Amino acid sequence: MTRQIIVAENAGYCFGVKRAVEMTVEYNKKKKSKVYTLGPLIHNDDVVKSLEEQGIFRINSNDIAELKPEDTVIIRSHGTTPAIIDRIRQTGASIVDATCPYVTSIQRKARKYYQEGYQIVIVGDRSHPEVIGINGWCNNSALVVKDGSELDKLPNKVCVLSQTTEKLSNYERTRKAVSRLAKDVLAFNTICSATGERQNSADQVSKEVDLMVVIGGKQSSNTKKLYEICRANCSNTWLIENVRELPDWVAGDPKWKTIGVTAGASTPDWIIAEVIDKLKERTSK
Using CB under 6 A as the binding rule, whether residue 103 contacts ligand SF4 is answered as yes
Using CB under 6 A as the binding rule, whether residue 15 contacts ligand SF4 is answered as yes
Using CB under 6 A as the binding rule, whether residue 41 contacts ligand SF4 is answered as no
d(CA 166, CA 78): 14
Q: Which residues are catalytic?
A: 130
Residues within window 107-166 making contact with ligand SF4, judged by CB under 6 A: 164
Give the range of 8-16, 30-38, 205-213, 224-232 binding ligand SF4 by CB under 6 A. 8-16
Q: Where are the beta strands (DSSP E) in 19-173?
A: 35-38, 56-59, 72-75, 94-97, 119-123, 143-145, 157-162
Using the Cα atoms of residue 276, residue 278, residue 281 and residue 285 in order, give the sign of their dihedral: negative
Using CB under 6 A as the binding rule, whether residue 98 contacts ligand SF4 is answered as no
Using CB under 6 A as the binding rule, whether residue 47 contacts ligand SF4 is answered as no
Query: 212 forms bridges with which residues in the sheet?
Result: 237, 260
In 3-state terms, what secondary structure has residue 214? strand
**DSSP states of 132-191 as a string?**
HHHHHTTTT-PEEESSSTT-----SEEEEEE-TT--HHHHHHHHHHHHHH-SEEEE----
Q: Which of 21, 93, 123, 192 binds ligand SF4 (CB under 6 A)?
A: 192
| Residue closest to ligand SF4, measured at CB | 16
Min separation Cβ 56 and ligand SF4, Å: 19
List phi, psi (to 5°) of 214. -110, 125
Using CB under 6 A as the binding rule, whether residue 14 contacts ligand SF4 is answered as yes
Nearer to ligand SF4, 103 or 205 (CB): 103
Identify which of 231, 279, 232, 230 has the alpha carbon closest to the alpha carbon of residue 258: 279
Min separation Cβ 26 and ligand SF4, Å: 18
Give, as one character, the DSSP assignment of residue 73.
E
Residues in contact with ligand SF4, shown as a per-residue x/- string from 207 to 236 under the rule CB under 6 A:
------------------------------
Contact present, 211 and 256 (Cβ < 8 Å): yes
Close Cβ partners of 244 (under 8 Å, ≥ 6 residues apart): none
Amino acid identity of residue 277, one-letter, is: D
Contact present, 81 and 135 (Cβ < 8 Å): yes
Give the range of 41-49, 95-103, 142-150, 242-250 binding ligand SF4 by CB under 6 A. 95-103
Q: Which of 16, 136, 148, 217 binds ligand SF4 (CB under 6 A)?
A: 16
Using CB under 6 A as the binding rule, whether residue 185 contacts ligand SF4 is answered as no
Nearer to ligand SF4, 98 or 182 (CB): 98
Using CB under 6 A as the binding rule, whether residue 188 contacts ligand SF4 is answered as no
Binding site for ligand SF4 (CB under 6 A): 14-17, 77, 100, 102-103, 164, 192, 194-195, 265
